[in-house]
């Protein structure tokens, strides 16, 4: 089984090189890799061309939502995985995910890997294990020797990145919604859409491990207020959706409420009314980030080393 691995990158060439090298060396399958290059003036665009990596390009940062939807349309495999460019795949990362897919009775499953990060952030979904905070200080031998030292169980009713789902479901729900551009809360919005079409299997697979430098590209952009856009759109807050639906599956899979569509809550209704009256979300957020993000698609499609268009 092969995945189409989708990697958006924004002038992070040293990280991207490590990421792709780890995919090539530590995967059991010959996965399809597709990169979207935002800007690329740091040498990223030249490098992916030299490597013959399938890619698309925009003249500037078009955000996670647009970038992922763009390259998802080029994917040729039945399963797509969104991976950040600052992640390093450990041996067996993909075989653990493949086993989960093959043992499932339904392709409506959302799988993530267990992340190892260098610093404590209070996130219970990651393992703290410091092997360097950037490529210049990365301890690859140490990672390969110790990435499985800390035992963890699979975490049900949870979601993280990388994000693995069947391509057909990504297309059915429309991928990442553009109103969340450049990307804050787009993950939770995707989870809600998947819930609506019947997804009830959300799982972090403990045997699938990746090292995450946690290089915050989001610190370089004007963030959208995704939590407010989520409440406006769905009439329920992100916290309520997580507590009352996703995490209920981790506690009791027989709970009757998890089979229901989320309904607007009192706090969600209040936030919807307040922000609807007094704010210009999401368009105001998008305009503050980039009033014309679509213009950056003006770059011609990139070509592979064989001269064929990437898309």
Give per-residue pLDDT as tens, 109-131: 999 999 999 999 888 899 999 99
**pLDDT at residue number 214:** 82
The yes-or-no verdict on residue 292 having pLDDT over 80 is: yes
Residues 6+ apart with CB under 8 A from 135: 14, 15, 17, 18, 213
The secondary structure of 240-257, three-state, reads HHHHHHHHHHHHCCCCHH
| CA–CA distance, 55 with 45 (Å, rounded to integer) | 9
Q: What is the mean pLDDT of residues 231-236?
A: 90
**Burial status of residue 107 (CB atoms within 10 A of its CB: 0-12, 13-18, 19 or more):** middle
- Give per-residue pLDDT as tens, 235-275: 999 989 988 888 776 655 444 455 678 888 888 888 888 88
| CA–CA distance, 169 with 160 (Å, rounded to integer) | 18
| CA–CA distance, 4 with 296 (Å, rounded to integer) | 24
- Give per-residue pLDDT as tens, 134-165: 999 999 999 999 999 999 999 998 888 899 99
Q: Report the alpha-carbon angle 115-118-122, nearest 5.
A: 70
Element of type H or E holding 172: helix 167-173
What the chain holds in terms of domains, given with CATH numbers, is 3-291 (3.90.550.10)
Q: What is the mean pLDDT of residues 184-211?
A: 95
How many C-alpha atoms does 111 have within 13 Å on its Cβ side? 31
- Number of Cβ atoms within 10 Å of the Cβ of 136: 7
- Number of Cβ atoms within 10 Å of the Cβ of 162: 23
The secondary structure of 93-133, three-state, reads HHHHHHHHHHHCCCCCEEEEEEEEECCCCCCCCEEECCCCC
Q: What rounded mean pLDDT belongs to the chain? A: 89
């Amino acid at each position: 089984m092969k995945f189409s691995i989708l990697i958006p990158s924004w002038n992070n060439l040293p990280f991207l090189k490590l990421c792709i090298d780890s995919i090539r060396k530590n995967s059991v399958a010959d996965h399809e890799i597709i990169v979207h290059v935002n800007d690329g003036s740091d040498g990223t665009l030249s490098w992916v061309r030299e490597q013959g990596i399938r890619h698309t390009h925009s003249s500037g940062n078009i955000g996670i939502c647009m970038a992922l939807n763009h390259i998802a349309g080029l994917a040729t495999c039945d399963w797509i995985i969104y991976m950040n460019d600052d992640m390093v795949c450990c041996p067996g990362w993909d075989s653990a995910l493949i086993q989960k897919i093959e043992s499932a009775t339904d392709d409506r499953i959302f799988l993530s890997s267990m992340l190892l990060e260098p610093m404590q952030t209070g996130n219970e979904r990651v393992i703290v294990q410091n092997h360097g905070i950037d490529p210049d200080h990365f301890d690859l031998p140490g990672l390969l020797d110790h990435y499985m030292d800390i035992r963890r169980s699979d975490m049900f009713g949870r979601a993280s990145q990388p994000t693995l789902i069947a391509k057909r479901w990504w297309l059915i729900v429309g991928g990442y919604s553009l109103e969340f551009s450049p990307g804050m809360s787009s993950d939770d919005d995707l989870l809600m859409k998947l819930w609506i079409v019947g997804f009830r299997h959300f799982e972090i697979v403990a045997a699938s491990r990746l090292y995450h430098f946690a290089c915050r590209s989001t610190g370089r952009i004007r963030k959208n207020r995704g939590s407010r856009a989520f409440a406006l759109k769905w009439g329920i807050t992100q916290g309520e959706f997580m507590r009352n639906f996703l995490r209920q599956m981790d506690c009791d899979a027989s709970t009757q409420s998890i089979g229901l569509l989320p309904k607007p809550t009192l706090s969600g209704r209040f936030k919807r009314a307040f922000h609807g009256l007094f704010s210009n979300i999401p368009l105001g957020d998008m305009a503050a980030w980039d009033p014309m993000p679509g213009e950056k698609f003006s770059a011609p499609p990139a070509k592979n080393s064989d001269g064929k268009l990437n898309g």
